A and B are shown apart, each in its own frame.
Chain A
Amino acid sequence: MQEFLNAYTSINLIFLLKGLWITIEVSLISGALSFVIGSFLGVIRYAKFPVISMVVGFIVDILRNLPLLLIIFFTYFGLPNFGIRLNIMTSAIAALTVFEAAMIAEIVRSGIISVPIGQTEGARANGLTGAQTMWHIILPQAYKRMIPPLVSQLISLIKDTSLATIIVLPELTYHAQIIYGQNNSYMIPMFLAIAVMYFIVNYCLSLVGTWFGRRGNKTA
């Protein structure tokens, strides 16, 4: 028992928190980027523009069906073969953004589809262009409905950052590995510690999501 508690020195805990910070930082940056890119792709796919929408749909479907780990390998180990050399942090963010954008594109597209067609017809008959209808009427209602799936996607993203351990991104899981790499008896204590950290962050997020979800139901 004493051995177990010895693992939690303040130095080790601060080291873990630094890792947690990188996890959060990478998640927030790729979350924000993939939200913007995914929204664009989702709208384009929904809009059924000739050729463009099909190409976007094709790419989104491919990305959604690849393992994220493969995409991370590709951005870090593959891209240099094409003359693009990204540092660890940027490769991780790029890989997560590309993958999450494809996921969010589908969430956005189904969010748009879930808004009753009458809203579009009402707006178009009222004189709004397709783009104005999307921006002023459809997307605001669609995003409200999308909050729960978007939050769970963000939670997946935070968990998925641990995959970047493989390219030695200094995030939470990797920092835990470094600690128990030096003293094997610290392994279980470290697993427990990072489990608690992941849980707290993600559980708080899911509470926020439920709260917004409930609020959304009330107003529209």
Chain B
Amino acid sequence: MAMIEFKNVEKYYGNFHALKNINLEIEEGKTVVLIGPSGSGKSTLIRTINGLEQIQSGDLIVHGENLAKKKTDMNLLRKNVGMVFQHFNLYANKTVLENIMLAPRIVLKRDEKENRELAEKLLEMVGLADKGNSYPNMLSGGQEQRVAIARSLAMKPKVLLFDEPTSALDPEMIGDVLEVMKKIARDSDMTMVVVTHEMGFAKQVADQVIFMADGTIIEKSGAKEFFENPKEERAKKFLSQVLNH
């Protein structure tokens, strides 16, 4: 069964048609990478999956819940759908450990000792075991992003969304974050949806690549197939622009 399913989804910002007739199924446990030129609707599309953006028509079913229905409880849905943002969005008024432990404590009512143990384990996993008591503004961008990933994982979500997770980072920071993401893709059975410009990452970990332009999905294919033998003209042009420099 598909974990995420778009059926004829349309999204507008005022008069601007941001997503045009999106049809897409993402299987449970798969890693899907969304690529395309800026302004193509990738970020908008990924933000609809946890309801940060509302769709105007069509159906969007995530983990069995139809987000197009008004009575769908977004808070319930978001327990199962984590998100990592381009600008991290760590809680500026909380320490690193508190950032990770807050939502499990007040949303999942997880036992405090268990909560702390998991938070510390996750910090170790992202290579920041010694930063638990730091505040976000004391960390580098790459460190902040790894904390943000740990914060999402602490909720034990079924789906993890990454919205350009490395676009705001200095080049030397990108590798550490990508390593963590690769580890998650490899070792967990989470469904991952990643908007990125990191083609190397897409090649290595994606089960499926989705190429978007002008609010529509132009091409969907396996990663290897997409990079070696893109079918659509726009995809070919895009790849030649991002790969040959």
Contacts and interface: CB of A to CB of B under 8 A. Distances in A.
A and B form one complex:
yes
Interface of A: 118-119, 121-129, 132, 136-137, 140-141, 144, 219-220
A136 B106 contact: yes
A157 B107 CA distance: 40
Contacts of A127: 75, 78-79, 103, 107-108, 155
Contact of A126 (B92, B135, B151): B151
Interface in B81-131: 81-83, 85, 87-94, 102-103, 106-108
A140 B93 contact: yes
A132 B85 CA distance: 20
A150 B103 CA distance: 30
Contacts of A220: 92-93, 135, 137
Contact of A118 (B89, B93, B94, B161): B89
A140 B95 CA distance: 14
Contacts of A128: 75, 102-103, 106-107
B145 interface: no
12 contacts: A122-B85, A122-B91, A123-B103, A124-B52, A126-B107, A126-B151, A127-B107, A136-B106, A141-B92, A144-B93, A220-B92, A220-B93
Contacts of A144: 93
Contacts of B93: 137, 140-141, 144, 220
Contacts of A140: 93
Interface string B136-172: 0100000000001001100100000100000000000
A125 B107 CA distance: 12
A40 B170 CA distance: 42
Contacts of A118: 85, 87-89
A122 B135 contact: no
Contacts of B31: none
Interface string B222-245: 000000000000000000000000
Given A119-B89, A122-B85, A125-B83, 19 more contacts: A119-B91, A121-B52, A123-B103, A125-B85, A126-B103, A126-B107, A126-B152, A126-B155, A127-B78, A127-B103, A128-B75, A128-B103, A128-B107, A132-B106, A132-B107, A136-B91, A137-B94, A140-B93, A220-B92
Contacts of A119: 89, 91-92
